[in-house]
A and B are shown apart, each in its own frame.
Chain A
Amino acid sequence: MKPGLKSFFDSMEAYLAAPGGLRRLQAAHPGWDAAPARVALYGDFVRYHVRSTLEKLFPLTQASVTPERWAELVRDYDATQPGRHYEMNRMGEGFPGFVADVTAARGLPEFVPALARFEWADWAVYVSEEQVPSRVERLTVNPTLTVLQHPFRLVPYIHAKGQGPTPAPGEELLLVWRHPEQLRTWFMAGHERALLAVKMALEGLSAGDVVAATGLAQAVVQQALAECTGNGLLLAP
């Protein structure tokens, strides 16, 4: 690459990494008569893509903090230059970790990092490249299943689309998976029946094994299996 072109790219990189430097950019190119407002559009566009992508991926997280706090989060996350992948949505992958790092210092609600982690998992499961087999030989856990664990009861808050009471403290296992036919993301709290059914699939246990080992009623075990195969968490032969 010729030096002139390299110099052009270097100056644009510096400008877009910190778009406040419009004057610096124009000073780097004496005689460049482009209107500053026109050049500034590019900084605006690049920042818009980050902001709009985060708003699309993390609507509940956004709703759970004040507009000012959200604007700060977006601005400061943008400064980490998260666009390291050609797929635009992937720029949100590091956002939950970023939020977790700054939650205490910024006085954000304590449940927000867990909520952001759920919202990223929701997207990642939706587009997961895991192939769900159309037929299985035995009870099988849906390969898109992602299990999140956190010290807040998020599920009612998510079901209420962030409109309900603030999530209460308390350990929660949150199961997230893609329904094999609908191809939409499902989630639920990992209650005992669901975890029992997952254990049966993972360890190849029959209903009879479980009844004998736990003393649970056969009907309870069968109901757990029916529920978890019906919602696609487990795949049945």
Chain B
Amino acid sequence: MSKSYAQRHGLKSLGVGIGLRRPFYEQLPLTERTLDWVEIIPENFLTIGGQPQRVLDACAERWKLLPHGVGLNIGGPDALDEDYVTRLTALVRRVDAPFFSDHLCYSRLGGVYLHDLLPLPFNEEAVEHVVPRVREVKERVGRPFLLENPSYYARMPGGTLAEADFLRHVAEQADCGLLLDVNNVYVNARNHGYDPRAFIDALPLERVVQTHLAGHLRREDVIIDTHGAEVCDEVWQLYRYVVERTGPVSTLIEWDQDIPSMEAVLDQADLARAAMGEVAR
């Protein structure tokens, strides 16, 4: 049996983490609650000074930090942002992250950052475009790199591949890991009418190194991936389905809008830890 991506890179499950968000800057470094690792959005720490720098350093003394970017623009038409990649590399090394991640999407057009994660067409042209960029980033940063399956609300024109095949082709050809956002799987499955379990089964699960759990917003005609609520029952069930197949995997509770108390986010992390423990038992 061939080794998984994590095994090839000596990566083990770090347990369950939460994100370092501004409302938590004062409390998080001091918490006595169980917390296994901390996610950081690198864009918030690439030009760093003052309180963000102090908080980052305090967290790095207690936990592993995993940078999860939103601005790499790995799928976009513009060349990779030299300043961004240079600073990202410095940050990853500064916090000694075992790996780092971003999204399989584009976020910049014509030199303008859109500050959103826009979906690519699922086709071979996009695969050919993304793969060398992933390889370049991996080489420059020098650490294992994961791509996240993004949520999307409309299939982009020109798509010829199934979504899972698109992810597989990119991950295998670029030889990167996957960050499986379970909430995104649920949101996409509901919005596009497919079976989330069949989608998961079609993924190269041996490349999954991390998972995300989050809440979403249900509108009448569409579910929006807001990261602004508790994880719903269906996503918890899907998470268990994933962990049954991947084994224990580093898991993040993502909460980025309508952020509640840190204790409430840590409560969700406790639930994830318990679920992972039960499934993996």
Contact = CB atoms under 8 A, between A and B. Distances in A.
A and B from one assembly? yes
Interface in A79-134: 81, 83-88, 91, 126-131
Nearest to B71: A86
Given A2-B125, A5-B126, A178 B50 contact: yes
B143 to A, nearest CB: 19
Interface in B119-176: 121, 123, 125-126, 128-129, 153-158
B54 A2 contact: no
Interface in B8-42: none
A205 interface: no
Interface in A35-70: 35, 37-39, 41-42, 45-46, 49, 53
A28 to B, nearest CB: 8
Given A2-B129, A5-B121, A13 B110 contact: yes
B116 A49 contact: yes
Given A6-B77, A128-B49, A85 B113 contact: yes
B90 interface: no
A224 interface: no
Interface residues of A, number: 43
A9 to B, nearest CB: 4
B50 A127 contact: yes
B112 A84 contact: yes
B154 A129 contact: no
A46 B116 contact: yes
Contact of A127 (B52, B106, B153): B52
A34 interface: yes
A38 B153 contact: yes
B50 A86 contact: no
B238 to A, nearest CB: 22
B51 interface: yes
Contacts of B47: 87, 127, 129
Contacts of A6: 77
A126 B50 contact: yes
Contact of B116 (A45, A81, A128): A45
A6 B76 CA distance: 10
A183 B129 contact: no
Contacts of B114: 16, 46, 49, 83
A45 B217 CA distance: 14
B222 to A, nearest CB: 7
A170 interface: no
A44 to B, nearest CB: 10
B81 interface: yes
A86 B84 contact: yes
B247 to A, nearest CB: 35
Interface string A209-237: 00000000000000000000000000000
A4 interface: yes
A183 B222 contact: no
B280 interface: no
B113 A86 contact: yes
B154 A39 contact: yes
B100 to A, nearest CB: 15
Given A1-B129, A86-B46, A184-B51, A32 B157 contact: yes
Given A1-B129, A86-B84, A130 B76 contact: no
B234 interface: no
A184 B50 CA distance: 8
A127 B25 CA distance: 14
Given A29-B158, A34-B155, A129 B49 contact: yes
A6 B75 CA distance: 12
A173 interface: no
A107 to B, nearest CB: 30
Interface string A1-43: 1101110110011001100000000000101101101110110
Nearest to B81: A86
A12 B118 CA distance: 10
A41 B153 CA distance: 8
B49 A130 contact: yes
B156 to A, nearest CB: 7
A169 B113 CA distance: 39
Contacts of A1: 77, 125, 129
Interface in B173-228: 191, 221-222, 224
28 contacts: A2-B125, A4-B125, A8-B158, A9-B106, A9-B109, A38-B191, A39-B153, A41-B153, A41-B224, A42-B116, A42-B153, A46-B114, A46-B116, A49-B115, A53-B115, A81-B112, A83-B112, A86-B46, A86-B83, A86-B84, A87-B47, A88-B43, A91-B115, A127-B49, A129-B47, A131-B49, A178-B50, A183-B50
